[in-house]
Every structure is written in structure tokens, then in C-alpha cells.
Structure 1
Amino acid sequence: MSEDTHVITAEATDGVESSEPIVAADAAEEPADEATDAPRVSKREEALNNEGEIAADYLEELLDIADLDGDIDTFNEGGRAHVSIITDSDALVGKDGEVLDALQELARLAVMTETGHRSRLMLDVAGYRDRQRATLQDLAGDAIAEVQESGESVRLAPMNPYQRKIVHDAVAAAGLASESEGEEPNRRVVVLPKG
């Protein structure tokens, strides 16, 4: 492994827990290309851009087949490719995000088929994941306040790994600790008092 590569092992945030190491290139920008004065894109950034483009093309075809309207936006954040379908319809979200989760897995499979590598791509439709993140951060805030007031642990409702990661991050940002307990699909976050 080169000096510019770090190995990070973490709970997956995408609905599937994994103990596979995630290898991410150093975030430092490449030097500018002298001919264009534009910064060169790192190989990791280029790979993420490629993942986003493959997923966007795949999803565009699905939208055409289903005769659904929607614009597709791609960006990279947090070492992942993100694809958003901007639409007024919740048809591609489904109950509790079930259709969205299925579309995300299909998009990841399309990327893996094309690149030969597992993708951690995140898909959002109609802002569903953004709304879900805000709701979970509010829930975490309530649990943090309760723990600080009572000095007792607070157990939250069962969540998938993606949801638990959002809560764990909010708890850590507040200076408290949390842990996951239980077995899937009933695994939950427990917010712990300082101690």
C-alpha cells in the first residue's frame, strides 16, 4: 500500500454492515495541470465521478422506461459518489424508503458490473434522505438532552445501519458516547451518559 493510502474499517452506512476495509486515497489535491491551470483530479475522485456517471446513466434509462420525470444530479461527498433524482413524485421513494433502497442497490450493481468494484454510492430521491437525516438528528438531539438531564442511558427504536450512523455521529458531536445493541433487524442505538 502506498504512503498516500489509508485503510479505514468502519460500520457501513448504507444499509449493509461490512467488515471489509475501505481504502481511500489521501484527500490532498493533485498539482495543477500546467497546460490548463486546472487542478488535476485524483484517481479516487475520478473513480467516484465515474461511479456517479454510470449510476446516473442507469437511472436515466430506468426513468425513461417507467415514463417518470426527474432530473439527475451527481456529486462526491465523504468519499462516496452521490446521485440525486430531483422530482416532485415520491413514487421512487416508496413506503419507508423501500423503493429508494432497492434503486440504490440496483445502481450499485450497475456500477459494480461496469467497474468490477463494490460501490458505496448513495442515492437520494425527492430529498428523502436529506429529510430523514434531519429527522434522525432531531431524534438524536432529544436523546442527548434526556441523557444529560437524567444521567441514564436512552435506547432508541431499531434502525438500519445508515440511520444508526447518523445518530452515532450526532451523539459523538455532542461529546457523548453511543453503542449499537441487538441483532438485525432490531439493532438499535443506545446513548450513554458521560461517565
Structure 2
Amino acid sequence: MSNVIEIKAMSQEQAITRALKIMEATPEQVKKVVEKQKSRSFLGLFNREGIYEIEIDKSLKAEVKEVKKEVKKTETKVEKEIVKETETKKKQDVEVKSEVKESKKERKDATNMIKAKAEELLENIGLVLDVEVDRINDRNYLVNLYGEDNGIIIGKKGKTLNSFEYLLNTLMKEYRIEVDVEGFKAKRTETLRELGKKMAEKALKTTKPVRLNPMPPRERKIIHEVINKYPELDTYSEGRDPKRYIVIKRKK
């Protein structure tokens, strides 16, 4: 007699393990596994468990050798996929490193390449967003994202968006790319200016340096501009990207 149970987990293997524990069954008694909703994970910043429907038949007694054989087959398949993916990435990196000359055709090619890479990253993450790429000047480009998952890609205080922007720039080293989501950066700029004023006032009231949380270069620039309006204060950055942060202190 078969029993069907729904399990939430980050992977099929994790779902099976949980189901076996609940049903007090063995791996040989798993009859069918259906993935009803895919799990999602991005840079360790957010996780969304998938939903798996698992059918267990306690009357099944498959041979242990057959089970081990299937497991070995799966492991071999996964290893081949990893090797294939590694070779593809190496090939893409070599292509990206080729020198890009300033011409109308090549600028168009660059725009298409950045758009394709952004779409590829979003697809791998599992987010539904449209991508629009605009050239600002020279090798500077703006990537605008639109869609139902805009809240997920922004993350808390723009942290996930900054990570996505950092990853895209790492993959497309020939260009300087800024990523925005439906005007979020403009709103974030105003928030940062208010933060800069607040931290400036704090620094004026204390003799100790004030250290801010790590920020990307664009956000640090905004804070520096605000603090520069206070003649009694000095500001500088410490650490390395993506964990570089601003220090505010009184001038000697």
C-alpha cells in the first residue's frame, strides 16, 4: 500500500530524507518523487524551500545492488554536468577578456552581451525580471530590471541588488555596470543622504570615529559628498570591496 506525503525542502535529497524519517521507511521504499515547486537560493542571502510530493510503498523491497547502481549512475551524470559547466564558463571568460573597441557596432554588441549575461544570471537564480541595458558613456552601462520579483532582487536595504551588481561586474570586467530596479537607486540616494547627515551630527557630538556599514562605491561616494559639506569633519574608506566601509571623524 502506497502513502503520499508533501515535504518542504531546499533539495530533492533533503525532502526524501525528511519523508523517510516521518514515514519510518527506507530509501528502497520510495516509489515516486514529484517536484511541485522549485527551491530558490541566491548568494546565501535568501532561500526559498521547494515543495516535493513523495510516494512511499512499504511493500517495495528493491535489491540493494540495484539501488547502489542507480546512485552511481546519478553521481556520474552530475560529475559530467559539472565538468561541462566549468568548460563553458572558461570559454565565456576568455571571450569577455577580448579587447572591446569603441565603435557603433561594438557598443551594440557590448549592450547585447551585458543583457544576455544579466538574463542568464537571473534565470540561474530563478527570478522573473525583464532586462533593459543603456550605455551611459565610454564603458559605463546602466542595467534596469523590471518585473514581479523586483522586491526579491532588491533585498534588505538594497543588499541583494548590490551583490547582483557586484557579481555582474565581476563577470563583465571590461565594463562598469550599475544595476537599478524601477528607480530604487534614486530613492536609496535620498536615504543615504539622510544617513550621511545623521552620522555627521553623531561624529560632531563625539570624539570617537564613526564607522558605517559596508557599501558599494556608488553609495560611499554619496556619503563622502554629504560629509564634505562639514568643515569640521574628515571622511575616508577602509577595507576591500565588497566589504569596504566609510569612517567619519573630527579633523585634528
In which range does the TM-score fall when normalised by the shorter chain? 0.5 to 0.7
1:136 correspondence with 2:136: no
Query: Measured at CA, do residues 103 and 187 of structure 1 come closer, stay the same or move farther in structure 2, by a change above 3 Å?
Result: closer
Give the whole-Å Cα distance in 2 for the aligned partners of 1:49 and 1:170: 36
Q: Which has the higher contact order (CA 8 A, sep 6+)?
A: 1
1:111 correspondence with 2:172: yes
* Number of positions where the alignment pairs a residue of Structure 1 with one of Structure 2: 148
1:172 correspondence with 2:233: no
Query: Counterpart in 2 of 1:101?
Result: 162
Q: Is the 8 A contact 1:156 1:189 kept in 2?
A: yes
Misfit runs of 4+, over 6 Å: 44-49, 182-186
Three-state SS of the structure 2 residue aligned to 1:92 is helix
Query: Counterpart in 1 of 2:142?
Result: 82
Query: Measured at CA, do residues 184 and 52 of structure 1 come closer, stay the same or move farther in structure 2, by a change above 3 Å?
Result: closer
Give the whole-Å Cα distance in 1 for the aligned partners of 2:160 and 2:191: 19
Query: Counterpart in 2 of 1:59?
Result: 118
Three-state SS of the structure 1 residue aligned to 2:134 is strand
Q: Is the 8 A contact 1:182 1:188 kept in 2?
A: yes
User: AA paired with 2:248?
Assistant: V
> Which of residues 21, 43, 56 in structure 1 aligns to 2:102?
43
Find the structure with the greater CA-based Rg.
Answer: 2
**Offset from partner CA, 1:105-127 (integer Å, 9 cap, x none):** 44335534xxxx3x321112233
Query: Measured at CA, do residues 45 and 106 of structure 1 come closer, stay the same or move farther in structure 2, by a change above 3 Å?
Result: farther
**Offset from partner CA, 1:81-107 (integer Å, 9 cap, x none):** 111113353122234545423432443
Question: Structure 1 or 2: larger strand share?
Answer: 2
**TM-score normalized by the length of structure 2:** 0.43
Query: Measured at CA, do residues 67 and 96 of structure 1 come closer, stay the same or move farther in structure 2, by a change above 3 Å?
Result: closer
Give the whole-Å Cα distance in 1 for the aligned partners of 2:199 and 2:127: 43
Query: Counterpart in 2 of 1:36?
Result: none
Three-state SS of the structure 2 residue aligned to 1:91 is helix
Residue segments in structure 2 that go unaligned for 5+ positions in a row: 1-100
Shift of 1:168: 1.3
Deviates further, 87-96 or 136-145: 87-96
Among the aligned pairs, what percent are the same residue?
A: 20
Provide the alpha-carbon RMSD of the alignment: 4.0
Give the whole-Å Cα distance in 1 for the aligned partners of 2:178 and 2:171: 13
Three-state SS of the structure 1 residue aligned to 2:136 is strand
Query: Counterpart in 1 of 2:212?
Result: 157
Give the whole-Å Cα distance in 1 for the aligned partners of 2:241 and 2:120: 34
Give the whole-Å Cα distance in 2 for the aligned partners of 1:125 and 1:68: 13
Give the whole-Å Cα distance in 2 for the aligned partners of 1:165 and 1:61: 30
Query: Counterpart in 2 of 1:192?
Result: 249
**TM-score normalized by the length of structure 1:** 0.53
User: AA paired with 2:196?
Assistant: A
Three-state SS of the structure 2 residue aligned to 1:158 is coil
Give the whole-Å Cα distance in 2 for the aligned partners of 1:152 and 1:194: 10
Three-state SS of the structure 2 residue aligned to 1:90 is helix
Three-state SS of the structure 1 residue aligned to 2:152 is coil
